[in-house]
Amino acid sequence: MDLKEWFANRQKRQEYAQVKQPLTTEEYCALWTQCFQCRELLYTRDLRVSLYVCPKCQYHFRIGAEERIEQLADPDTFVEIDANLISSDPLGFVDSEPYPVRQKEASKKSGLKEAIITGTMKINDLPVAIGFMDFGHFGGSMGSVVGEKVTRLIEHAQSKSLPVIIISSSGGARMQEGILSLMQLAKTSSALKSFHDAGLLYISILSEPTFGGVTASFAMLGDIIIAEPGARVGFAGRRVIEQTIRQKLPADFQTAEYLLKHGQVDMVIERAKMRDILAKLIVFHGAHDKRENHSSIQHEKSKNKSESTLSSR
Ligand SMILES: [Zn+2]
């Protein structure tokens, strides 16, 4: 064996050794996800294709804002607005750690700046203004920035006559911002009132879990309220209520199906059908026509304006 051959063989030996390296526990765990409901082990790559819905029992996994954008938006149509808004620390709040430290940790974990991403995009070629809450960031809690982003989204949609869709997933108001986070309930609700008075369409989608201040404001103010199967939605948690009223609650209490049965939501729609149903609702309510009318009114206004400026000269 000459020296050249020896080096060639060594390279092969190294490649072989690399292939044979066993997966680390972390890598192995990332390949598989266990269903919370039926305990089936699911291949993570397949789960992504099935929109993070268990193929065996239809359990809808909790997903983040980015996965939602990928699932609902027409390719490359999502444009984020107010991407750089971040919370300050108005109360100088410290529990076991200062609030700014907690914020940094939350951002590191979720890769997001805040618990909501807002923007505009198209669904089946229909333009919408849309907000995606992410439970993975600070438990999806609503602080002043989440409230402000929701309000600005609604105002933006109103100025452009766009329908609004908000997908909620939240543990409630953000304690660390105290009264300022509670104020967001009134702010978002009042923006929605003016949006409603303008005759525009707001669809609220409730996903697992939606609780507290978000349920008590914009999540339950939709013209149409849709929930994902199995999503738990409520104000206070089940255990708190049981302790307060000293009674056992039904097993399906606060689930999407229970709320549908009791008239609190309009529809329970599985994830695979969400896109088409949203598009149908927008067309059915003529929300896309309003936009066309809006742009023709705007065009007419600007035409009249330019004519009047011409005549005044
Ligand atoms: Zn399952």
247: CA distance to ligand 1 center in Å? 30
For residue 128, what are its two tokens? Answer: 């919408």
Q: 53 - beta bridge partners?
A: 60
17: CA distance to ligand 1 center in Å? 37
47: CA distance to ligand 1 center in Å? 11
| Cα–Cα dist 219/226, whole Å | 10
Q: What is the pLDDT of residue 13?
A: 76
Q: What is the pLDDT of residue 12?
A: 78
Q: What is the pLDDT of residue 25?
A: 79
The answer to whether the CB of 118 falls within 8 A of the CB of 69 is: no
Ion ligand 1: residues, Cβ under 5 Å: 35, 37-38, 40, 54, 56-57, 59
- Residue 79: HSE in the Cβ half-sphere, 13 Å Cα cutoff: 8
Per-residue pLDDT of the chain (313 residues; tens, 9 = 90+): 677 887 778 877 777 666 667 778 777 778 999 999 999 999 999 999 999 999 999 999 999 999 999 999 999 999 999 999 998 899 999 999 999 999 999 999 999 999 999 999 999 999 999 999 999 999 999 999 999 999 999 999 999 999 999 999 999 999 999 999 999 999 999 999 999 999 999 999 999 999 999 999 999 999 999 999 999 999 999 999 999 999 999 999 999 999 999 999 999 999 999 999 999 999 999 877 766 666 665 666 565 655 554 444 4
208: CA distance to ligand 1 center in Å? 15
Domain architecture of the chain: domains with CATH: 62-291 (3.90.226.10)
Q: What is the pLDDT of residue 309?
A: 45
Q: What is the pLDDT of residue 297?
A: 58
| Nearest Cα to Cα of residue 117 among 92, 96, 135 | 135
The answer to whether the CB of 38 falls within 8 A of the CB of 59 is: yes
Listed in sequence order, the DSSP H helices in 111-143 are none
251: CA distance to ligand 1 center in Å? 18
Ranges assigned E (strand) in the chain: 32-34, 41-43, 79-81, 116-123, 126-133, 164-170, 202-210, 224-227, 267-268
For residue 42, what are its two tokens? Answer: 């699911």
For residue 69, what are its two tokens? Answer: 């954008």
61: CA distance to ligand 1 center in Å? 9
Q: Provide the CA 204 distance to its chain's centre, in angstroms.
A: 10
What is the SS3 assignment for 130?
A: strand
49: CA distance to ligand 1 center in Å? 15
